[in-house]
Amino acid sequence: MIRLLRRRSLSCDEIMEVLQGYLDGEVDAKTARRVAAHLDACDGCATETDVYRRLKDSLAHVPTETVDPEIMDRLQDFSRRVIDGEMS
Amino acid sequence: MIERRRSPEPAADPAAGGPPPDQAALFERHVVPELPLLYRAARRLTPSNAEAEDLVQDTLLRAFRSVHRFDGRHPRAWLLTIMRNANINRARKKRPDLLDDPDLTFERDQRFADGETPEATVLHDAFDAVVEDAFARLDEPFRAVVELVDLQGRSYAEAAEALDVPVGTVMSRLHRARRRIRAELTDAGVDGPHSLGRATAVERLGGE
């Protein structure tokens, strides 16, 4: 569990240090409250938090299969023909 | 200026002033490197690999015709917008009655009523496609940690045990991986409020 020992309010740099752990539920309750208080008052950190929250959500649903190399080869070939004017 | 429609974009006219944009070079620079991303995005929009491939080809043709007018910023967002428009046209060709389908109209209206503009819809798709592409290109140690924590929802301690590494290593790999993906979102121009489903301050002030 990640814990910040400093007592004063957190700076933006300190927020960025613990932001990932905060989003993953890996900080202790007291640190989580301090991070939340900072995010309430700081638009910049709140926006950054939104980006990472959305990123995490997107990753949670990401397909893990790789793209078939044959398909990529065909698309490369098609691109070459577009460039060469064969498709116009 | 009279705008010609429904005809292929003409090649740049050197007499119009300045050197003609090299369509092929611009296409090579801005479009060809994005083929994997385009295919992944197309798979999100179509029900089969074959249709996804067709949609990418359609997108490539459209991109080639207009690449000389592209300003070079955010090529991924530009390409994904072209793809979305191409997909809408394909759907209309297949089913001309599509726009009159009450279910689809309802779904579309609901989405926009929830505050999602057509631009936001494009950027939502773009955001997910960029994340998917960046994830697929992560080096294996970073990918493995992201898979365990973000895809499988495991704790840092569980991921560390599964990979037989210290928790600190899990944290540093995970954070580096996310920062890298986040940087690609910035490069693609899809990390703004529209992509996040949040209204901008201007929109909030503007009311309905």
Three-state SS across chain A? Answer: CECCCCCCCCCHHHHHHHHHHHHCCCECHHHHHHHHHHHHHCHHHHHHHHHHHHHHHHHHCCCCCCCCHHHHHHHHHHHHHHHCCCCC
Whether residues A55 and B198 touch (CB distance < 8 A) is answered with no
Question: Is residue B11 less than 8 Å (CB to CB) from chain A?
Answer: no
pLDDT at B115 over 60: no
pLDDT band of residue B8 (cuts 50, 70, 90) is: very low
pLDDT tens per residue, range A26-40: 999 999 999 999 999
pLDDT at B199 over 60: no
What is the per-residue pLDDT for B2? 38
What is the per-residue pLDDT for B157? 96
Whether residues A60 and B60 touch (CB distance < 8 A) is answered with no
Q: Which residues on chain A are in Cβ contact (under 8 Å) with B156?
A: 21, 24, 26
% pLDDT > 90, chain B: 41
ipTM of model over 0.85: no
How many Cβ atoms sit within 10 Å of the Cβ of residue B39? 22
pLDDT band of residue B119 (cuts 50, 70, 90) is: low
Prediction pTM value: 0.69
Best-predicted range by mean pLDDT among B21-25, B166-170, B187-191? Answer: B166-170
Instruction: Give the up-direction half-sphere exposure of residue A63: CA atoms within 13 A in the CB hemisphere.
Output: 13
pLDDT at B103 over 60: no
Q: Which residues on chain B are in Cβ contact (under 8 Å) with A75?
A: 35, 38-39, 53, 56-57, 60
| Residue carrying structure tokens 């926006």 | A47
How many Cβ atoms sit within 10 Å of the Cβ of residue B127? 26
Best-predicted range by mean pLDDT among A58-72, B146-160, B189-203? Answer: B146-160
Distances (CA, A) of B84 to A60, A79, B91, B171: 23, 19, 11, 37
Report the C-alpha gap between B208 and B203 in whole angstroms. 8
Residue A2's beta-bridge partner residues? A27
Closest partner CB to A72 (pick from B35, B128, B155): B35
pLDDT tens per residue, range A11-70: 899 999 999 999 999 999 999 999 999 999 999 999 999 999 999 999 998 887 778 899
Rounded to an integer, the average pLDDT of B162-190 is 93
Best-predicted range by mean pLDDT among A74-78, B21-25, B69-73, B196-200? Answer: A74-78
Whether residues B150 and A56 touch (CB distance < 8 A) is answered with yes
Those of residues 114-133 in B touching chain A at CB distance below 8 A are 127-128, 131-132
Tell me which residue of A46, A56, A49 sits closest to A19, measured CA to CA: A49
What is the per-residue pLDDT for B7? 39
Question: Is residue B183 less than 8 Å (CB to CB) from chain A?
Answer: no
Whether residues B27 and A88 touch (CB distance < 8 A) is answered with no
Q: State the smallest CA–CA distance between residue B191 and chain A in angstroms.
A: 7
pLDDT band of residue B208 (cuts 50, 70, 90) is: very low
Report the C-alpha gap between B50 and A53 in whole angstroms. 33
Rounded to an integer, the average pLDDT of B166-182 is 96
Report the C-alpha gap between B147 and B165 in whole angstroms. 15
Rounded to an integer, the average pLDDT of B37-61 is 91
Mean of all residue pLDDT scores within chain B? 77
